[in-house]
Structure 1
């Protein structure tokens, strides 16, 4: 490395450290700052990655300075498209793996609250950077085990971790199953979001241990869930209002609403609602999160300019199995009386409206007031403020 390159790297790393501190509202703890400098992010990124919703490529061989700058932005770096498969000529590339934004990486690591001598299971190795930071912080080989479902990603991460001299065991497998041979763990952390907490994680965590995972509901992918495992095989804890992650591959639902659910011959029932679709599917993340917890397997998607006479915008709502659906239309003029069409054994818009009414009646609670208890065998109970106060 030339002197100029070393200077550029140092400048970029310091700038990112400042951005992380701004996001956290305080400087990074000394333990994690030490790990940050010892495990540089750019060493765990591929020569070519993508950025942003448009998946703009950044290539080190073509633009090394731009690549280094992008590596130290506080943004996700998309490291895989389409599960590693070639996209068809008419297909739109979609992100299937990424290196998370550094601020959320360190927010989660601090929430995990690891202690010297502990053993950690990571679900979702990705590039290996997160596992590398954990290994550096904990010291010594054998403290961190990381599970990655994608063989190519696992192989690449393992190679980077070996090159960095970090003793992480990388296992190729389904992260929902954890890794029983290494149990019990003091901490379990996922770098992908889940729609239910796999009970294997609880079984493989020592009593008093912590599980930290991003949360996803079909309605709203948002929130971090931090559970403490009890000696009776249950786990309980609160949500925190941070982040959105890619969904664990086994929890995905390939649904595009009107393309997948509306079939010829289906005759929906018409009605009118005063509930604005923007209230439940707009920018209010507290509302969307609460609705997602309450309605469970219901999904939505906006269809702007739906090419229907008299309709300026439409939101589609459906169960993830596609058997029940609704379309709620806005005519571009009035602020009340939205037209609703519903089909199927469930009236999904009515369910959404009831969930929103409960949330408003409860005082519009923020994400951090909700919690989850997972019982023996995986049964779950959502609560508000206190585990005894179950959400209906």
Structure 2
């Protein structure tokens, strides 16, 4: 039996491995965190390691101590437990938006892409009392996960949970570009001034962004810090490419911002009203937003309420 290396030596090797992948040394505070805890103390006697054929094989500390130790201090995932009697999933290559009718109904439907509306087959193929777990998206903000329960009347109701930013379902993407599709020569926007900071509605407050996205349909935004017209500009546009707005920061003061709006919708006004509602409601967190999903022809519609 080969003697185990010193934990400090093993962690030093792990840090070198990580640094090689990063292309630079591991930051000091992360080094300190790794050195503070010996990894092998928190691992079970048997680890499950990749076998090179798409599966796993056991590695026992008693019979293979050197291999077990090396695995403990490698920058690679370790499986510490397999559940006996687990089921093998049935994998189908198809358009996920249509679900899979042959095996329906399902107790759980879990999506790994985000949607702006729930595909009707997902709703129809879930049993009454079953759960739909779906990353949510709006053009304004890709954030939040819907956890909804199928109701006896064919609808589904649930709340949004924080996090869960996934790529949007291909069929629901809208290919609109600001300079190609929205802005045109000769457009004469209405101009005004606002005291509402653009960072309040499109900054780091993701709960505010989610609230706005749910209440201002089909509207997206983009930041511009390289234009000549303003130090920093927040652009707003709609998916129909018929309306746009801009809010400018002049680089000097944060008490007033120049606003331009064009088209049948006054997008900045809509966003400002949604933000005012967010503040008036006590700045509700993500879980206070409830969605009711109902069949609507060949698709679904959703109604938003605050709990």
Tell me what 1:329 maps to. Answer: 248
**Residue correspondences, number:** 245
How far 1:222 moved relative to its partner? Answer: 0.3
RMSD: 3.2
Question: Secondary structure at 2:226's aligned position in 1?
Answer: strand
The equivalent of 1:243 in structure 2 is 164
Structure 2 unaligned blocks of 5 or more: 1-9, 16-42, 55-70
Q: Which ranges of structure 1 fall in alignment gaps of 5 or more residues?
A: 1-6, 13-32, 45-64, 74-132, 141-166, 386-392
Q: CA deviation at 1:305?
A: 2.3
Q: 2:262 aligns with which of 334, 343, 346?
A: 343
CA distance in 2, matches of 1:39, 1:321: 51
Is 1:368 paired with 2:290? no
Greater Rg, structure 1 or structure 2?
A: 2
Report the equivalent of 1:139. 86
Aligned to 1:383: 305
Q: CA deviation at 1:227?
A: 0.5
- Give the Cα–Cα distance (whole angstroms) in 2 for the partners of residues 235 and 353 of structure 1: 30
Shift of 1:313: 0.2
Q: Please tell me whether the aligned partners of residues 207 and 286 of structure 2 are also in contact (alpha carbons under 8 angstroms).
A: yes
- By how many angstroms is 1:171 displaced? 2.2
SS of aligned partner of 2:236: strand
Counterpart CA distance in 2 for 1:246 and 1:355 is: 25
Aligned partner of residue 304 in structure 2, secondary structure: strand
Q: 1:182 to 1:39 in 2, by over 3 A?
A: farther
Partner of 1:197: 118
More helix by share: 1
Answer whether contact 1:236 1:373 (CA < 8 A) is retained.
Answer: yes
Deviations along 1:106-149, one digit per CA (max 9) or x if unpaired, are xxxxxxxxxxxxxxxxxxxxxxxxxxx9x978823xxxxxxxxx
Aligned-pair CA distance for 1:332: 0.5
Residues 38 and 136, structure 1, Cα contact 8 Å, conserved in 2: no
Under a length normalisation based on structure 2, what TM-score does the superposition of the two structures give? Answer: 0.72
Quick one: higher RCO (CA 8 Å, sep 6+), 1 or 2?
A: 2
- Name the SS of the counterpart of 1:305 in structure 2: coil
Report the TM-score, using the length of structure 1 for normalisation. 0.57
Task: Please give the per-residue CA displacement for 1:155-178, whole angstroms capped at 9, x wherever unaligned.
Answer: xxxxxxxxxxxx332222221111
What SS does the corresponding residue of 2:240 show, helix, strand or coil? Answer: coil
Q: Find the partner of 2:89 among 155, 165, 168.
A: 168
* Counterpart-to-counterpart distance in 2, 1:282 and 1:384: 22
Distance 1:345 1:185, change over 3 A: same
Q: Does 1:313 align with 2:260?
A: no
Q: Give the 3 Å change call, closer, same or farther, for CA 38–207 of structure 1 in structure 2.
A: farther
**Equivalent position SS for 1:292:** helix
Distance change >3 Å, CA 292–CA 307, structure 1 → 2: same
Contact 2:234 2:247 survives alignment (8 Å): yes
Residue 290 of structure 1 is matched in structure 2 by 211
Residue 66 of structure 2: aligned partner: none
Contact 2:117 2:301 in 1 (8 A): no
CA displacement, residues 297-341 of structure 1 (integer Å, 9 cap, x when unaligned): 100000112122xx1100110111211111111101111221111
